[in-house]
Each structure stands twice: as structure tokens, then as C-alpha cells.
Amino acid sequence: MIKIFKKELANYFMGYMAYISASAFVLICTLFLWFFDNEFNIFNIGTATLSSFFFIAPWVLFFLIPALTMRTISEEENNGTLQWLFTQPIKICGIVWGKFLPILVVLLFAILPTYLFVYTMEQFIVSDQILDYGALLSGYLGLFLLGSSFAAIGIFTSSLTKNQVAAYVSAIFLCFFFFYAFESLASYNLLGTADYYVQKIGMYQHYQQMLKGILDTRDLIYFFVLIGVFLALTNANLIRKK
């Protein structure tokens, strides 16, 4: 697993994909938060909060994370190197984790520079105001777990097909489905009291809870289970291919 991890990490950073992804993430969020005249602009909101950032960031990650994951396994299968990996003394789960963990490193690499948003707000607030650092920390953790879930989904779709474009589109669809589809369905109030449980199936409600500064173990367990399920499905799919 360590060798695969190092190889994949080197591919992201030596091939500049990590820098391009991080730059795109920070640039898009910066433009919407500080420059574009829209409802997300912090100057238009008039309060010292990063709620706009935490709203915009998942939508950027919808497209960014699948772009990172689409080649992870599909490229190996297309090039014929996946079968070679199967002959090596590496467990299938080692291949999956070796592909998954470097994406988390790139995700952290993209998120960390946005601390500049916090620093910038600190310069604008008056002396008697204070930022809610607890909510900010919880929000960043929620965003990281959300991105990690997208990464697990993306690796799963990459294991389904040799076509990277198909893997990319499928990952975007599944990420959107698990993030917003259940929330949207529950908003129609078609199922009565069952709408509450429908909401809990999707990521949106758990992410929103963390944005409020509430670190509930149920939300943490939800993301860990979701990540585990998709990595397990990827593992099972690779065993089938072997």
C-alpha cells in the first residue's frame, strides 16, 4: 500500500494536478466570496461569517474531486497494469487505500490555503467582535469529510469502467445524488414523518449540522460509514475483476 500511496502522491504533485486543483478551488471560492457582486459576497452579507464559503465549496468539489479520482483505477485497467498489480504481493484493500489516501492529501492541500479567508475577516471585524472559531473548525472538518466521501464515491465509479469520462460523469451524479437528492425529496413533504429519515440518508443534513458547530458522533459515524461502504464496494469490484 505504501508504494502505491507514494506513487500516486508523486503523480499528483509531480504532474502538477494537485497544484492546478488547489489553485482552481481557491480561485473560484475567492472570486465568489470577495469579488463577484452576488449574494455570497462577504461584503454584501455584512457579517463576519464563512457560511458562503461552506455553501460554495461542496459545489466546487462536485467537479474537482471526480476529476482527481476518474483515472485512479480506470487508467490502470485501460493500460493493462491493473492485472499486474493483482500479481504483486499486495492485498486488494491495500490497492484501494493506496489510491484513496493520496486524494485526501490533495484535498487537504486545496482546503488549507482558505484559512486566508479567516485571516482576512479578522482584519475587518471591529475590536468588540469575535469569530466563532468552534463553528469554523467544525465546518472545515465537515468539508473535509464531505470531500473524502466524494473521493470514495469517485474511486468506486473509476473501478466500474475503463472510460475515464464515464467514471467522471458517474462520480458527479452519485456525489450530487447522495449530497442533495435526499434533501430535495424530503423538502416536498410527500412521506410525512418519514421525510426526516430520508433527509438523514443524504450528506446534506449531516454537513449542515457540522456547519452549526455541532460535533455529533452520529454525523461523524455517518461519513465514516459512507466512506467505508464505497471503499468496500470498490474492493469487492476489484476482487471480481481479479
Q: Residue ranges per domain, the chain? A: 2-241
Backbone torsions φ then ψ of 86, nearest 5 degrees: -65, -25
Q: Do 92 and 242 form a contact (C-beta atoms < 8 A)?
A: yes
The pLDDT score that the predictor gives to residue 90 is 85
Mean pLDDT of 156-170: 93
What is the C-alpha to C-alpha distance for residues 193 and 90, in angstroms, rounded to an integer? 48
Least confident window among 5-9, 136-140, 181-185: 181-185
Mean pLDDT of 123-131: 71
Mean pLDDT of 59-63: 93
Q: Which residue carries 492546478 as its cell?
A: 20
pLDDT tens string 17-50 = 899 999 999 999 999 988 888 888 887 777 777 8
Mean pLDDT of 70-94: 85
Give the residue, 188 or 6, on which the prediction is more confident: 6
Is residue 125 over pLDDT 80? no
Q: Do 158 and 71 form a contact (C-beta atoms < 8 A)?
A: yes
Mean pLDDT of 93-122: 92
Q: Which long-range contacts (CB under 8 A, 24 or more apart) does 162-167 make?
A: 162/74, 162/77, 162/78, 163/74, 164/70, 164/71, 164/74, 164/75, 164/78, 165/70, 167/66, 167/69, 167/70, 167/71, 167/74
Q: How confident is the model at residue 66 (pLDDT cuts 50, 70, 90)?
A: very high
* Of 142, 115, 125, residue with least CA distance to 45: 125
The pLDDT score that the predictor gives to residue 128 is 65
The pLDDT score that the predictor gives to residue 187 is 67
What is the C-alpha to C-alpha distance for residues 145 and 220, in angstroms, rounded to an integer? 8
